[in-house]
Amino acid sequence: MRADAQRNRERLIEVAHAVFKERGLDAPLDEVARRAGVGPGTLYRHFPTREALHEAIMATWIEEVAGHVEKAMATEGGCRDKLLAWFEEYVSLLTRHQGAAAKITASLGCQDSPLRTKCQTYADANASVLAEMSDHGALREGVDNLDVCRLLGGVATMADQSSLSAEDVRPMLDVIANGILKN
């Protein structure tokens, strides 16, 4: 790739990050182009669809997911506390950008989504936490990772759309934890 093209690409990702943070993932792409100082044609050549741009800006936080799992699993207390800590991390990660929770979770089931690899990272992270719970014999029988991811995605989406605080979200996560843990 030519040097100027590389520069533009990086600048677009940087600006898109800011714009999406300010105005949500549905923000006008023309504004991204304008603020990046390029024509719309340039933006669309680098990122043919809105989703391609979403994917690019998510690349950074995807790398952090493993760290968040570790952090949650280091929480003091029993399985329940660790699980709830992870749930809170999960929801917080998904609600970093307005509209992200719904989009990421929707692409969970669909093989050909451009966000597929990203949401798979989340699903894998959640699976690893559930596996840990299972090893300790704390998990009910027949709990499916995809179902839990969708439940959390649903909570995150509601939190996103109603601008709920962590305190508002907590009791819902409690219900899910009660629902998948034994006793």
Partner DNA sequence: CAGTGAAGCGGAGGAAGCCTCCGCTTGATC
Partner DNA sequence: GATCAAGCGGAGGCTTCCTCCGCTTCACTG
Among positions 137-156, residues that touch DNA (CB under 7 A) are none
110: left (phi over 0), alpha (psi -120 to 50) or beta: beta
Task: Please tell me whether residue 53 binds its own copies under the rule CB under 8 A.
Answer: no
- Establish how many alpha carbons lie within 13 A of residue 136's alpha carbon, considering only the half-sphere containing its beta carbon: 15
**Contacts of DNA in 3-32 (CB under 7 A):** 3-5, 8, 26, 28-31
105 binds its own copies (CB under 8 A): yes
Q: Which does 164 bind (CB under 5 to 8 A by kind): its own copies, DNA, none?
A: its own copies
CB 91 within 8 A of CB 169: yes
Three-class HEC string of 116-136: HHHHHHHHHHHHHHHHHHHHC
Query: Do residues 81 and 89 make contact, with C-beta atoms less than 8 angstroms apart?
Result: no
Nearest residue to 87 via CA among 2, 183, 175? 175
Output phi, psi for 44, to 5 deg.
-70, -25
Query: Does residue number 26 form part of the binding site for its own copies (CB under 8 A)?
Result: no
- Partner in contact with 108, chosen from DNA, its own copies, none, beta carbon below 5 to 8 Å by kind: its own copies
Minimum CB distance to its own copies smaller for 66 or for 166 = 166
Q: Which does 78 bind (CB under 5 to 8 A by kind): its own copies, DNA, none?
A: none
Tell me the H-state helices in 24-165: 29-36, 40-46, 50-62, 65-73, 79-94, 100-106, 116-135, 145-161
Residues 112-151 that bind its own copies (CB under 8 A): 140, 142-144, 147-148, 150-151
Binding footprint of its own copies on the chain (CB under 8 A): 102, 105-106, 108-110, 140, 142-144, 147-148, 150-151, 153-155, 157-158, 161-162, 164, 171-172, 174-180
Which residues lie near DNA (CB under 7 A)? 1-5, 8, 26, 28-31, 37-42, 44-46, 48-50
